[in-house]
Amino acid sequence: MHIYDYLIVGAGLFGSVFARELTDAGFKCLIIDKRPHTGGNVYTEKREGIDVHMYGPHIFHTSDDRIWAYVNRFTKFNHYVNRPKVYYKGKIYSFPINLFTLYQLYGVKTPAEAQKKLEEVKVPIKNPKNLEEWVLSQVGQEIYEIFIKGYTMKQWMCDPKELPTFIIRRLPIRLTFDDNYFNDCYQGIPVEGYTKMMERLQAGIEVRLNTDYFANKEYFDGTARKVVFTGKIDEFFGYRFGELEYRTLRFEHEMHKGDYQGNAIINYTEYEIPYTRICEHKHFTFGQQEHTIITKEYPEAWSRGKEPYYPINNERNNKIYKQYATLSEELKDKYIFGGRLAEYKYYDMHQVIGSALAKAKKEIEFQKSTCS
């Protein structure tokens, strides 16, 4: 006899949205998470009155009216707009690259002057064979050195000459003074932090933390009619086709007096500086505190046991993932797989919410059809 209709493995956005929808449709859900807190990677922790983004800075952005209305049911958003800066060899540059950046670099003041300058600085490479050649052919040596080279070497831990061009499919350069990182209609940060938003999303649903599904899989499978799994798909299948690879990060938090850098995010693009960015959390909420908390983000080589942040969707990994995905199809009567780890896919928050809403709707329709 099952106690629950659905066991949801993972209290991140996918699991929580799915649980909310199924609960509202009248089904009984249990959410478990192996971490000691809820929210998955969007988790924020209140430290000295500041919401600290514990797994890297998270800025909510979407152009989808339906998703924006949905998240606004659970939190109010402020008017934060992401305008990161780049620090390189003692200078600060406007970023993403826009007319002001090009003014800083070349003194150009109009879109036409900037366009002409970009044509001049491009390196004529006919068939770029790697990331370095491709970027040089698009924007020339100086922009490549300042914005791409060192940063990419740190992130990918190899020379850009060894990387395929598809890693940077598009190098957005704006010939206007618009320095808003995102192009979406809606953007902001939950005024009370993401954790409050996640708690409201899970209101009335049983949540058990510090609970690893694999520590007692048989027992948990027996508690519910269906299992929604949002953890690592290769782990679910005992790594039988091989291990999927990720990029991982180490976060170092520091407390300081006053205002550390005057902006929420500054990217450090020099190779010699080991971190890729510093995030100063109080600027996400326009905090006026006399103290501040910053986080330095260091890329690290991934191995099992470390946090899997970004999937590496190269040929090898995609091939392995496909085998797991095929196998998961065969189990669809009992298991639903979703979210960034189970689908081995980078999802922004609005995308993972959209995916969870779609899968929940399909499931509810399926349940209705089997009852009637």
Residue numbers at the binding site for ligand FAD (CB under 6 A): 9-15, 32-35, 40-42, 55-60, 212-214, 230-231, 309, 339-341, 347-350, 352
CA dist., res. 309 & res. 156, Å (int): 13
Active site residue 234: no
Comparison of 63 and 141: residue with beta carbon closer to ligand FAD: 63
Active site residue 250: no
Minimum distance from residue 22 beta carbon to ligand FAD (Å):
15
Active site residue 66: no
Minimum distance from residue 156 beta carbon to ligand FAD (Å):
15
Which residue is catalytic, options 119, 170, 290, 315? 170
Comparison of 1 and 215: residue with beta carbon closer to ligand FAD: 215
Which residue is catalytic, options 5, 145, 192, 348? 348
Tokens of 249: 């990060």
Comparison of 150 and 188: residue with beta carbon closer to ligand FAD: 188
Which residue is catalytic, options 174, 260, 335, 343? 174
Comparison of 134 and 321: residue with beta carbon closer to ligand FAD: 321
Comparison of 230 and 317: residue with beta carbon closer to ligand FAD: 230
Minimum distance from residue 45 beta carbon to ligand FAD (Å):
14
HEC sequence for 320-347: HHHHHHHHHHHCCCCEEECCCCCCCCCC
Q: Bridge partners of 265?
A: 279
CA dist., res. 209 & res. 195, Å (int): 14
Active site residue 348: yes
Minimum distance from residue 331 beta carbon to ligand FAD (Å):
16
Minimum distance from residue 189 beta carbon to ligand FAD (Å):
10
Which residue is catalytic, options 297, 324, 340, 343? 297
Active site residue 170: yes
Active site residue 335: no
N- to C-terminal Cα separation, the chain = 22
Comparison of 32 and 201: residue with beta carbon closer to ligand FAD: 32
203: burial class by Cβ within 10 Å (0-12, 13-18, 19+)?
exposed
User: b vs e for 180-197, b when ≥16 Cβ sit within 10 Å of the residue's Cβ?
Assistant: ebbebebbbbbebbbbbb
Minimum distance from residue 192 beta carbon to ligand FAD (Å):
18
Tokens of 121: 């600085």
Which residue is catalytic, options 277, 321, 340, 363? 277
Active site residue 247: yes
Evaluate whether 237 touches 327 at the Cβ level (below 8 Å): yes
Evaluate whether 46 touches 159 at the Cβ level (below 8 Å): no
Sign of CA dihedral 177, 179, 183, 189: negative
100: burial class by Cβ within 10 Å (0-12, 13-18, 19+)?
middle
- Active-site positions? 170, 174, 247, 277, 297, 346, 348
